[in-house]
Amino acid sequence: MPNIKNNNRSGSVQVNSLSSRETLISMFILGGLFFVFGFITWINAILIPYFKIACELSNFQSYLVAFAFYISYFIMSLPSSYLLKWVGFKKGIMYGLWVMAIGVFIFIPAALSRTYEIFLLGLFTIGSGLAILQTAANPYITILGPSEKAAKRISFMGICNKGAGILAPLIFASVIFKVADSEMLKQLPLMSAIERSAALDELIRRVILPYSILGTVLVILGVLIRFSPLPEIDTEQEDEELSTLNADKKSLFDFPYLILGILAIFFHVGTQVIAIDTIIAYANTLGMPIMEAKVFPSYTLFTTIIGYSLGIILIPKYISQINVLRICTLLGVVLTLLIIYTHSNYTILGHTTDISIWFIVLLGLANSLVWAGIWPVALKNLGRFTKIGASTLIMALCGSAIFPLIYGYLADLYNVRTAYWILFPCYLYLVFYAFYGHLIKRWIPTFKKKNIPA
């Protein structure tokens, strides 16, 4: 019989009562969910240039794709925590998948009318479902085992997420782009208004079939999760030591390292989405056609997977997760400067282009273990505040909505290379959190009085 303790009314279990087999099953189910997260999230790297062409947008307008998708995390994360408190983690994941399905199906009327605003509504709805899923799934990973190995578990989930991210742009691009499109795009400025509209209508309607299939899959996944062996977990109960430690805590603001961690996640996801979602447009400005540039988000995600793999091998046996966080954030600072200041053409993997684009690709390595490093230290010893703490960390994913817009504005105002300066202050803050911010337990430090003999 499995060693599980029920939590009275809710039927939830204490995490430390799960057997090894139950923990492993939970990890594989969650890995599948993270694959779904990644597949849907990183399609945005193709949607941004796709909508820019089909809906005739500026740089700034095209990055509203990322804004609409990620701002939902800010709006929906706190409601998500209350939903999870009401229905539990498992049903919450089911509802999250179904909300995502609704957002995916919204793409059908949006494509039929070629209305960008309806696409943005669909993206917001998909992001809302993901906010529920992320709020539920990330605490699972963080507490399903020893905290010092949390980065290793998160790295495994990251491989599932980014592995899907490698496939998503390639599969999606192969479905919506044809070889003949390169010639069609060259002819667009020469077409009459009617011909141009007809060509763009045909281009945008190619999303209908793949998104119809994707929506159906999400509905089915929701049903499967409901009847899966994934256990309910209890984050409301605290052991005696933790209860004593948090006795004077009234709100999340009594945990400075969490609040600073929320800001760290905000900056981190901004750097991550810029590295992936802007690289195709940057390659276009270097003279690379979109059919060639479409692979670069996958290159970036592949370097991220390399980082995750190193994390699984090295943490904590050879290096602590906090030292990995420090190395990654410093690498981000260095790569940002190299992107801006290096100018030379090289042929790498069959692509002849400016070396700076490969430093953007390497940002995937720099970003790989930042999320995994922040979550364990930001959620450490929260006890009964874990659900609300996790939801506020998910709220910080709105950085992925805001920073691409700032990048797009700077790209329109200056140029796409200069716009990468937005990464620099983000990585500087992450360096601060990695070296010092995560250690702050009180906003105002207390000093012990020394006993000086009279």
Q: What would the pLDDT profile of 134-180 be if each residue is shown by its tens digit?
A: 877 777 776 676 766 776 777 788 788 888 888 887 788 788 877 66
- C-alpha span between 237 and 23 (Å, rounded): 19
pLDDT of residue 337 exceeding 70:
yes
- C-alpha span between 262 and 248 (Å, rounded): 22
User: For residue range 42-57, what is the model confidence (pLDDT) as tens digits?
Assistant: 788 788 888 888 888 8
- Give the model's pLDDT for residue 226: 84
Q: Which H/E stretch holds residue 338?
A: helix 321-341
14 Cβ partners below 8 Å, 6+ apart?
5, 7, 233, 234, 237
Instruction: Name beta bridge partners: 352.
Output: 347
Angle between helices 423-435 and 256-277 (to 10 degrees): 140
Indicate the pTM of the whole model. 0.74
Share of the chain above pLDDT 70, in %: 87
Task: Please name the residue that has the structure tokens 């989930």.
Answer: 157
Amino acid at 25: I
Other C-beta atoms lying within 10 Å of the C-beta of residue 317: 9
When pLDDT is cut at 50, 70 and 90, the band that residue 5 belongs to is very low
- Give the model's pLDDT for residue 134: 80
Instruction: Name beta bridge partners: 346.
Output: 353
- The mean pLDDT of 253-281, rounded to a whole number, is 92
Amino acid at 313: I
User: For residue range 114-125, what is the model confidence (pLDDT) as tens digits?
Assistant: 999 999 999 999
CATH superfamily for domain 16-229+253-439: MFS general substrate transporter like domains (1.20.1250.20)
User: For residue range 203-252, what is the model confidence (pLDDT) as tens digits?
Assistant: 889 889 989 999 999 999 999 888 887 777 665 555 555 566 666 677 78
User: For residue range 8-43, what is the model confidence (pLDDT) as tens digits?
Assistant: 333 444 445 566 777 778 788 888 888 988 888 878
Instruction: Name beta bridge partners: 351.
Output: 348
pLDDT of residue 364 exceeding 90:
yes
- Give the model's pLDDT for residue 7: 42
When pLDDT is cut at 50, 70 and 90, the band that residue 1 belongs to is very low
User: For residue range 419-439, what is the model confidence (pLDDT) as tens digits?
Assistant: 999 999 999 999 999 999 999
Residue 261 and residue 433 in contact, taking contact as beta carbons nearer than 8 Å: yes
Q: Where are the domains of the chain?
A: 16-229+253-439
